[in-house]
Structure 1
Amino acid sequence: MTPTRRTLLAAALGAAALLTGLVPPSSAATAPASEPTGVTTLSTGWTIPWGTAWLPDGSAALVTERDTFTVYKVTPSGTRTRVGTVPNSQTTGGEGGLMGVAVDPGWATTRHVYFMHTSSEGNRIARMTYDGTTLTGYTTIVRGIRKARYHNGGRLAFGPDGYLYASTGDAQVTSLAQDRNSLNGKILRMTKDGRPAPGNPFGTLVYSLGHRNPQGLAFDERGRLWEAELGQNSRDELNLIKPGANYGWPACEGTCGVAGMTDPKKTWGVAEASPSGIAVADGAVYMASLRGQRLWRIPLDAGTEEVGTATAYYVGTYGRLRTVTTVPGAKHLWLSTTNADGNGGQPAGSDRILEVTIG
């Protein structure tokens, strides 16, 4: 058979397959993008599991419970062990308490773990020592983050640059988000002892401003920082964070096109999202949604700063979804519920950690 005839026959067979439904249309041009392929329950008996951070060796993750101030070690198989509590913590009668956790990338040497939590005077970032069995020691590295019943932010993440990033809410005082002298309504970037990281745009801890209640932070394969935040009554946001950029709150909720303010890369109505944690896996941002009770997948464009069409999974199946985390060395995600948080209507102990396979 000549090359021309072979090419024509292949095209005809491909068209026939599409028409008969044997091949999905997306495979005609490129291989289908990875997406969630299954979900199982990994661990039960939780009460508002808020933050998750893996040890660098992948042997276990540390998981915080917001209102009990307790930290657990969870193995890849789901075995849970209590390792301690974070002192000086308190709730706010709303969304404050023990929130984010981040493990020092050099943990094998330092044994340091970082927490963001509410205390008597405000929200703090603190460092403790975890020897693989027990949490000990306590050092506050950042104070002065105003607290409120709601809008405390709370996420921590180490960047590929080795510095610690933190998200803070506006503490229900909207003007703080635009105040460069305030630590509220910001993304902060710091050294491991809480000092402003070299290269910060204003010479302070502030890395970006104009945020309402950011609860999602994750870095992609290109080292870019993505952030998700809860809107007020209109639009929730997914932002690409750049140093010194102003993301608009309270002048803007969602896209507004105001000079000097940076528009989000994607928005949602608050009823279909109200996002908390995010993770990046296989070229996409995965976003856990509280009020929306679903997991969003937002594909990233490898060559631009744009994002593709968002797809929702597990809508209403598991209730309020708080944190999504990649599993080291595996095409899996951990996804936690917080249905016992006062808004989900479930009792203490009803939350769980799910494992999602992608492929």
Structure 2
Amino acid sequence: MKRVTVLAAILSPLLMASSCGGSSSTGGGEAVSTPTPTSPPDTGFSGFAITEHGSFNEPWAAAFIPGTDVLVLTEKSGTIRGVQTGNFDKAIFFSGVPEVDYGGQGGLGDIAFLPSEASSTIDRRTIYLSWVEAGDGDTRGAVVGRGQMVCEDHQDCAIQGLEVIWRQSPKVSGRGHYSHRILFSPDERYMYIASGERQKKEPAQDLSNTLGTVVRLNLDGTPAAGNPFGDEIWSYGHRNILGMDFDAQGRLWEVEHGPKGGDELNLVQRGANYGWPVRSNGINYNDTNIPDHTPDDGFTKPVISWTPVIAPGNMTILDGDLFAAWKGDALISGLKTKALIRVSFDGDTAREVERYDMGERIRSVIEGPDGALWVLEDGEGGRLLQLRPQ
């Protein structure tokens, strides 16, 4: 059953110390920080009308099947659920889901569909998934697979012919920082994948592997022509990217976790090195210093750096008309900040303009076909919420 509530637009006072908890420190140099504005801009917005659409077990990502009202979401332990949002939340069940290496930050990850396949039915679509795959010994890594989603009776869907088309390399020990976000270019020629540095730090500066990078591929997973280093890598020196999106001008933006302090919003550019772990506006978890970014350090600087952090879950750049005053802005889901963070762009610059307290850890926010916001709370029993202007 749906339950409708109203949430006022409240600026969250929470500015968290680190993406995973702990006290804040800038670490031997004044880090760039963007605290919550004390006065929100006058957009005429007075709050969200919120409708609940059920709860899920550790939901991680969601995407609408293009041209339909069907929202498909992943649960980290290895399940895919579908919700026909315009038909009293009719459930759609999925088979053919890959086996995942579940634990820590790992499991079933992102889900993506091709906008060009929009139609009035959902009988057959290409589906892209990311998940964590076990390797030899105590190793694992992220993969991306492509298959066909076949929904013959609109009640049960099967993923058929799912094949791994990209693997994070190398597989390493540990269960953190997979990133594995999937994004298509606006012209749908290329697929961008966020590949985290797996908490290993130094590989993010090593172009012989794909840890700590954004990779750019053709839709079949082969390296795209024009990549700056002759293979898959588009940019490097990243830590743990959890959100990527294109703006209306075709610029690629990403948001990533820093260590203690130093969460980053970056404009992703061909061949750019973003500095991790040589530079960061945070410090290590053992409180040892990491030099802050400086104008002469040779690395591409974050457009926004948050200290204390926001702990991003994902990011979406709005292009609908329902929240008309926010069109072109980014919304970032906040985990320990328990908030939606709104960022406004001005060319190649950006600033945080407002923060909306949601009261729970927020894993994901996406924009629906009519411009409504669809939010996934984090963890066991995480609710699916539809947000519209009050």
Identify the TM-score tier after normalising by the shorter chain: 0.7 to 0.9
1:143 CA displacement = 1.9
1:306 is aligned to 2:306: no
Question: SS of 1:263's equivalent?
Answer: coil
1:142 & 1:175 partners in 2: Cα distance?
Answer: 22
User: How far apart are residue 358 of structure 1 and its match?
Assistant: 4.9
SS of the aligned residue for 2:199 comes to coil
Which piece of structure 1 moves more, 100-109 or 219-228?
Answer: 100-109
Superposed, 1:72-221 pairs within 5 Å as 72-77=81-86, 78-91=89-102, 93-107=103-117, 111-121=125-135, 122-132=141-151, 133-145=157-169, 146=171, 148-162=174-188, 163-221=190-248
Deviations 1:142-161 (A, max 9, x none): 12433531111121111113
2:86 is the counterpart of 1:48: no
Pair 1:26–1:142, CA change in 2 (3 A) = closer
Aligned residues: 314
3-state SS of paired residue (1:43): strand
Contact 1:288-1:324 at 8 Å conserved across structures: yes
- 1:293 matched to which residue of 2? 338
Q: CA 1:259/1:160 → structure 2, altered by over 3 Å: closer, same or farther? A: same
The code of the aligned residue for 1:248 comes to G
1:100-126 deviations in Å (ceiling 9; x for gaps): 111123435972111111011222111
Contact 1:239 1:263 in 2 (8 A): yes
Partner of 2:20: none
Q: C-alpha distance in 2, partners of 1:84/1:34? A: 45
- Relative to the length of structure 1, the TM-score reads 0.81
State the alpha-carbon separation in 2 of the partners of residues 327 and 219 from structure 1: 16
Superposed displacement of residue 35, structure 1 = 5.5
Give the gaps of 5 or more residues in structure 1.
Answer: 1-24, 341-349
Q: Which has the higher helix share?
A: 1
- The match for 1:261 is 299
Q: CA deviation at 1:26?
A: 9.1
Q: Distance in 2 between matches of 1:137 and 1:252?
A: 43
For 2:149, the aligned partner's letter is: Y
- Cα shift readout 1:286-327 (whole Å, capped 9, x = no counterpart): 0001121111001112xx211134311025x1x211111111
Q: Does 1:224 align with 2:251?
A: yes
For residues 169 and 259 of structure 1, what CA distance do their matches in structure 2 show? 22
The CA deviation string for residues 150-177 of structure 1, in whole angstroms up to 9 with x for no partner, is: 1111211111131111111111110111
Matched residue, 1:277: 314
SS class of match (2:100)? coil
Q: Distance in 1 between matches of 2:240 and 2:93?
A: 29
When residues 142 and 81 of structure 1 are mapped into structure 2, their CA distance, relative to the original with a 3 A threshold, is same
- Kept after mapping to 1: 8 A contact 2:181/2:194: yes
User: How far, CA to CA, are the matches of 2:177 and 2:214 in structure 1?
Assistant: 13
Is the CA contact (8 Å cut-off) linking 1:41 and 1:352 kept in structure 2?
A: no
User: Does the 8 Å CA contact 2:59/2:379 hold for their aligned counterparts?
Assistant: no
Alignment RMSD (CA, Å):
2.2
User: Which one scores higher on RCO, CA 8 angstroms, separation ≥ 6?
Assistant: 2
Given the alignment of the two structures, is residue 352 of structure 1 paired with residue 383 of structure 2, yes or no?
yes
Closer/same/farther in 2, CA of residues 34 and 247 from structure 1, 3 Å limit: farther
- Specify whether residues 165 and 101 from structure 1 end up closer, same or farther in structure 2 by C-alpha distance, changes over 3 A only: same
